Chains A and B, each alone.
Chain A
């Protein structure tokens, strides 16, 4: 009954409401929510850029670098995990590969560290693509298993192929900048990391609003449906996977040049992969700045634990508990939770109510189960 009348009635007001929807967006100063967002972003940028100038304490600077490294890795992870919903627990593989690629390129060819830095992420992508071709043939659980398996394989290889990787003792990486003081070294790498992170964020943002990104997000929601609508899902997932490996590999390459000493157990650690997942999940995988926020929170916590309690098993327990809490109670992440609070109590609340009042007048507001005599997944599915 309802639907027949609904369609004729809705046509007129809808046309006005939708005309030039995007053009009608209010200017920045009149849109409180966007203003808050932009303000936060500017404040964050200022803090990030000014921080290294305010201190010459080596420990603080190196903590800053470590957190930026986490942020770059987590943002890299989110190219796959966030867009497609394919959760990789083995992304440490690409971090380790990036680091080893830099070290081996410099060691074997004697090329400049900067050239090695530029090539290493590409090497990682070249290795990641065949892995992706295999891993992306399966979904869900099997995919996670493959990602874990891959990092375990690389750990075995790094430890056993001593002639190339230095085996269990690892590799030393030559310095990229000669004659820098320790704090200067940290400062330089701090800014290089910031640049890399900005690049990663820009690419993620660009994909997020593109047609390609729309296809990826459709995969996250319902992969079979996306295919039925013509989204080339396999190719799309593979491209996202390659970008993800690229930025995670870049983090590894930078880390090698910054830290200067590679240990296979650290480079190919499942725990590192878990950190990336935890950070992205905590911040919010659907959000541009989610992994960055998660990296700041979790990264600071990890560094605090290590400083306070030493390298005990305690950080394992803490990481595990935090991950379990996030999965159980906040799988959407902090940013969407805060946004939800804003929407309910913030300045926007009144206008939302106006819209629903308008809809009430139109009579267009429908309960979700309004005309659904058979619920989805009911009798029709058994066959």
Chain B
């Protein structure tokens, strides 16, 4: 592999890793606040992609403007989903049943997308779609940089909310120890539903970023859910830094392996990492005992 190609793959891997990191953080939020594994996360991702595409087709405006609609919309859906559906499940079997419930939601979204927009592959046409700039001697498409910027911005905002606001503090307290958080007067039910909304908002941003530079179709979410699930297990369920680091590492590895192995086999890196994690350190590389018990 030539060094230019290596550099190119490395940069592409980092750009891809940023998107993975954002989406995996969303998944971690759901798990943290509710012990819910949200299979429908990537279906919402694709839904947001479709909404961005539809928005651009209808208005002719830049797809990123659709975020003004989709982010609040997804936040609201997340809050409602937590309040109306997830809280109905019995606590004893919550984790298992939530997997099935969110799986069902994913199927409904995929089916509705196919119903509404047909199975035809869609792609947003942008003025800057074909342009690329040179980064450290490697050619990188502008859209990929924009998408990465979007993901990085969202991840940064998420970090800010979690670390610097009182809501973020309450959220982290709820993730760490729900009962203790209640004892110090945190309304954990409210925090959990906002956490859920926040998680779904990451899917809105991620979906728009994805639609900027990828072809989308209704069943695409299955290609995302596998890698994302692998990332959060490798990182350790419930740990946002763990998820982000695992996302970056695996994104870069996938990108580097694409050159010698091709795209399909490169994707197996996620599953190899998943099985290695289970054999070596089932609780994930950054997680506590939590991960093994749920």
Contact = CB atoms under 8 A, between A and B. Distances in A.
A and B touch in the complex (CB under 8 A): yes
Interface of A: 85, 87, 89, 134-135, 137-142, 144-146, 148-150, 152-153, 156, 159-160, 270-271, 274, 277, 281, 312-324, 327-328, 331, 382
A152 B226 contact: yes
Contacts of B237: 141-142
Interface of B: 31, 35, 37, 39, 85, 88-90, 93, 95-97, 99-101, 103-108, 110-115, 119, 179-180, 218, 222, 225-226, 229-230, 232-233, 237, 262, 264-265, 267-268, 270-271, 274-275, 278-279, 282, 291-294
Given A145-B229, A312-B115, 14 more contacts: A89-B99, A138-B278, A138-B292, A139-B292, A140-B96, A141-B96, A141-B237, A142-B282, A146-B278, A149-B270, A320-B105, A320-B108, A331-B90, A382-B179
Contacts of A89: 99-100, 103
Contacts of A87: 96, 99-100
A159 to B, nearest CB: 7
Contacts of A144: 37, 96, 99
Nearest to A329: B88
A328 B294 contact: no
Contacts of B230: 145, 149
A142 B294 contact: yes
A321 B168 CA distance: 34
Interface of B (DSSP majority class): helix
A281 B100 CA distance: 10
B291 to A, nearest CB: 6
Interface-centre pick from B101, B111, B225 (highest chain A CB count, 10 A): B111
Contacts of B232: 145
Nearest to A159: B264
B264 A274 contact: no
Contact of A323 (B85, B96, B104): B104
B101 A316 contact: no
22 contacts: A89-B103, A135-B278, A137-B279, A141-B35, A144-B37, A145-B233, A148-B39, A149-B226, A149-B229, A153-B268, A156-B267, A159-B264, A160-B262, A312-B115, A313-B110, A313-B112, A313-B113, A317-B111, A319-B104, A320-B106, A321-B108, A328-B85
